[in-house]
Structure 1
């Protein structure tokens, strides 16, 4: 079933609260001061059953200019607005400001309710209606119905209820598939239950028992109990007014303006990238670095606005900007904001969030402006691709991109599949997404790094794999780095020999003298089998120790010689033969001792013991007392 939230708007004392009572039977003014002064100060809430059987929530907002902050906290999640205009006064200053705010927030549907019709003559009523039609020209209420009513005698109330019901059929349902999100507009405690928060659930579904997080503080909690329209429920949905009893949390830890979401569904930020629109009827220009009040969800935050492509914004103009906030918040791409001057506090415009977790931008950067243009006008696929480009070096997963773009995890998965199919995105370790351009950049860095290394080290088989990682992608963990390397190996960019990486086409080229030394060394270690010369002995029998050392380490790098320890090397063929002899013996006898292994190889303890220790280190054998068994 579709769930609808209706909000009121209009000047003080134009009859919003009285109208709600006539529609619902509920007095939305709940504070003693409100009843004493006869004005709405705080948000009020009610609900009523429509003729079609749907139940609609209704929010009463203050009309006084001093309480505009409270009004803004309540209108963020409404589907239909009742713009209330008293017939005896017509359009007043707060009527216009409320209309501006509703337009900024892109409320799509509304009804103009002309109240107190019992106090005026028919001719006056017609004049007021004409004035209203002129004032709403060019706004979302331009073609809205004007419903004359009297909450005192009930005239027009039934017809208004019917019109609201009909309008709910044309209202677009909120997305239940996105992660749950509820800006908190009220916090209180109930004896025996603890802390309760209320708000308009703008996205998703929440269940009793679900884990939740309060942002921007990042406090973990759990849904102990849910209420919708004063009734306990197991599940609540986007488009409902919800009261949530939270477990293990104090009232003092939460405040209006906080947001309730699933754990890790959002990220706190001190900056927002936005597209700002200044109202046409605003009298002042907006200068770069002006101090403003920004209203988002149910929060009010002070900020400095940085205009990214100009020094000032004139009435009726729009531009890209970055808001540098004075306290943390959370937002999603596509959220609407309202801005007011710090002083005097007047609404000057608003905008839409393009990037909820930006880096600090320098002004007049063409590439930044182009990125923001894509985020504003691009398709969901383009927006996701830009996000993956930006965060590729962070090696983030699908969940992260669903949060970052505001697309939700399910839609993000589908779009990523398309981007992979188009060869724009690469998936690593089944969860990590990087952009093809980032991988191409890594490829160039690796080619350049290895080219320099090969030039300086022509007799080395390649750079240590770990050294290359530290130079190119130190932030990548081992498994992720291995997968990147495997991708480039399959692409014939690089090759790997043991723990060394070289360019795919690289081969060691020996001088004639080095070729002689290589043949001599390899022949010597092959012929001496398990009784090889030490490195020191080898150097004593060479005319050029420097060349001999270089060639020796090439043979080790290329796995022709195995380095058992600093002074004991063995030919690769005899190394494998030693393993085979040892394994056959253990299979037949259950274990092998040092002396048995020594005799098996026809060598001495000097060579047999280091070999067995090397087998232990490489998890070929396991030492149990004086014996070795196979692992």
Structure 2
């Protein structure tokens, strides 16, 4: 699908707003730029930005930039959605073990300006029609399916590597015993993350979600206070090698933050319902 558009209408509707919408529809997934309006609005026309904002608030267009103005019709995004959803459905049916389609492959397939492609994808993710995972896109309700044998392997990886304290056995060790390739191992770990059984941190660090949630609850119970690394190691039973990456993950999650040589347990954020 190339970013093409039909010929510009020779006759435009009356009214500034309808003119912009008609032109935006005509330019389709190329997007309508300020220079394209040169023959429609006088050079000294002052209300263009406010007009575009009003049309965006009505859901008729999406603005990519203001200076210079660059916008795309909502109708064009809907057209992209129709084509992209059909493409994803076909992709998922023949790639049931893959998390989704890489952004680079989407760009190659649809050949529309990158800025507009990203806007379309972001809009569809925001509306809950797609999900994005580290640059891969899938339909929101897509669930990866595995053969029965691989489901058993997945269960074994979770039980041996993550049940109880983290890193008692590494995923690499378990997969090596099963003669699984690194590619298959990473794919299975991705599925555990996707199914919310484990949480991924930096540099390939994974933690069992139930264990981590229990740990966070225990930390919250201690209240906001300093947390020396030695105390954290004793609390978790982890060596420094694994305690530090886990603390970094807790930092990312807003449970702790670095303070001197140790950490500080942060106050739990108030839920919206508890605010007056």
Do they superpose with TM above 0.5? Answer: yes
- Pairs within 5 Å for 1:171-320: none
Deviation at 1:585, TM superposition (A): 3.6
CA drift of 1:626 comes to 0.8
User: Residue 434 of structure 1: CA displacement?
Assistant: 2.7
Q: Residues 56 and 62 of structure 2 are in contact (CA less than 8 Å); yes or no, is this contact kept in structure 1?
A: no
**Cα distance in structure 2, aligned partners of 1:565 and 1:384:** 46
The residue aligned with 1:535 is 171
Deviations 1:178-209 (A, max 9, x none): xxxxxxxxxxxxxxxxxxxxxxxxxxxxxxxx
Whole-Å separation in 2 of the counterparts to 1:549 and 1:416: 44
CA separation in 1, counterparts of 2:130 and 2:222? 40
For the aligned residue pairs, the C-alpha RMSD in angstroms reads: 4.1
| Cα separation, partners in 2 of 1:483 and 1:598, compared to 1, 3 Å | same
Larger radius of gyration: 1
> Quick check: 1:552 aligned with 2:192?
no
- Contact 2:161–2:169, Cα closer than 8 Å, also in 1: yes
**Given that residues 61 and 72 in structure 2 are in contact (C-alpha distance below 8 angstroms), is that contact kept between their aligned partners in structure 1?**
yes
Output the CA distance in 2 between the equivalents of 1:552 and 1:517: 11
2:160 alignment counterpart = 524
User: CA-to-partner distance for each residue in 1:426-460, whole Å, 9 max, x for gaps?
Assistant: 34689875323311232144225534543554223
Deviation at 1:500, TM superposition (A): 4.6
Question: Given the alignment, which residue of 483, 487, 491 partners 2:123?
Answer: 483
Q: Do residues 460 (structure 1) and 95 (structure 2) align? A: no
Task: Please state whether the residue corresponding to 1:405 is helix, strand or coil.
Answer: coil
Q: Is the 8 A contact 1:389 1:437 kept in 2?
A: yes
Change (3 A) 1:620 1:513: same
Q: Distance in 2 between matches of 1:414 and 1:536?
A: 57
In structure 1, the partner of 2:271 is none
Name the counterpart of 2:72.
Answer: 434
What SS does the aligned partner of 1:374 have?
coil
- Does structure 2 conserve the Cα–Cα contact (< 8 Å) formed by 1:525 and 1:533? yes
2:257 pairs with 1:622: yes
Residue 405, structure 1, aligned to residue 40, structure 2: yes
Tell me, in whole angstroms, the C-alpha distance in 2 between the residues paired with 1:420 and 1:533: 53
Give the equivalent residue in structure 2 for 1:596: 231
Which one has the bigger helix percentage? 2
Residues 462, 501 of structure 1: 8 Å contact kept: yes
Q: SS of the residue aligned with 1:485?
A: helix
Give the aligned partner of residue 291 of structure 1: none
Counterpart of 1:574 in structure 2 is 211
Paired residue for 2:242? 607
TM-score, L = length of structure 1: 0.34
Instruction: Tell me if structure 2 keeps the 8 A contact 1:392–1:433.
Output: no
Relative contact order (C-alpha < 8 Å, sep 6+): which is higher?
A: 2
Partner SS state of residue 460, structure 1: coil
SS in 1 for 2:201: strand
CA deviation string 1:252-301 (max 9, x = no partner): xxxxxxxxxxxxxxxxxxxxxxxxxxxxxxxxxxxxxxxxxxxxxxxxxx
Structure in which a larger fraction of residues adopt strand? 1
- What secondary structure is seen at the aligned counterpart in 1 of 2:172? helix
2:270 maps to which residue? Answer: none
* 1:389 corresponds to which of 8, 25, 30: 25
Retained in 1: the 8 A contact 2:130–2:138? Answer: yes
